[in-house]
Amino acid sequence: MLLAERMGARLEGVFVEDIDLIQVAELPFLREVRLVSRSVEVMNLHRMEQELRVLARRAERLLGEQALRHNVSWSFRVWRGSIDTDLLSADIEADIFALTCLGAGLVRIPKLRAAATAVTVVFSGTDASKRALETAISLAADPDTTLNIILPAGEEAELASMQQQAEMQLGDTPTHTHYIPLHDGELTDLLEILSDTHTSVLVLERDSKLLQMSSLKRGLAVLNCPVLVVR
């Protein structure tokens, strides 16, 4: 929200109805365990769609309240499709795409929590990663915020080249910066970095290998922080 305010950009909220989850609800042998009543019920597609509509209205209301508070123009729509295979290629006209799980504080992106004072970006030297770095620099403008630049390189020469490019782009920007090598590019390595650095927001380019996980839903859950995807 603060990023949209700084950029004078329009904010589009997209509530995702996961088609994979909806199709599962149609299977006759599945059962749903209610947390409050602890009762076991047959999965009901109609009820699931009703609950999704309630959640969508709640998300729209929260987004509208935050947009009004920050004087940001906004819109909202519901999109149905597969998170794993369709979401990143969906017809969403946005320069920056924020991904987060329900309840993870989407409307607060990129305002940082007190216990998490770092913005982390993966920089590979591509044009898209340069735009991602520019976005991360904007988010780390607060003097108390650390900018972590992850360099996904296997060789020392490649690592040095990436860091030099990032340093040139940073220029004289007064940002507290750490450069962190990511040699294997595996999710487990990234999770360790994010945990050790108290990352609040992760910024990735659209074609990052880290977005090509076997399950984007699982990736969002285990990352435990919002992901900004820069096109």
pLDDT for residue 107:
41
> What is the β-pairing status of strands 96-99 and 118-122?
unpaired
**Of 78, 62, 70, 64, nearest to 4 (Cα)?**
70
Per-residue model confidence as pLDDT tens digits over 138-153: 888 888 889 999 998 8
When comparing pLDDT for 183 and 179, which is higher?
A: 179
Per-residue model confidence as pLDDT tens digits over 73-125: 999 989 888 776 666 666 566 778 777 765 544 444 444 444 558 999 999 99
Q: How many C-beta neighbours within 10 Å does residue 110 have?
A: 23
pLDDT for residue 126:
93
**Of 135, 126, 137, 124, nearest to 171 (Cα)?**
137
Per-residue model confidence as pLDDT tens digits over 48-67: 889 899 999 999 999 999 99
Beta-bridge mates of residue 161: none
Task: Sketch out the chain's domains with CATH numbers.
Answer: 2-94 (no CATH), 108-230 (3.40.50.620)
pLDDT for residue 106:
44
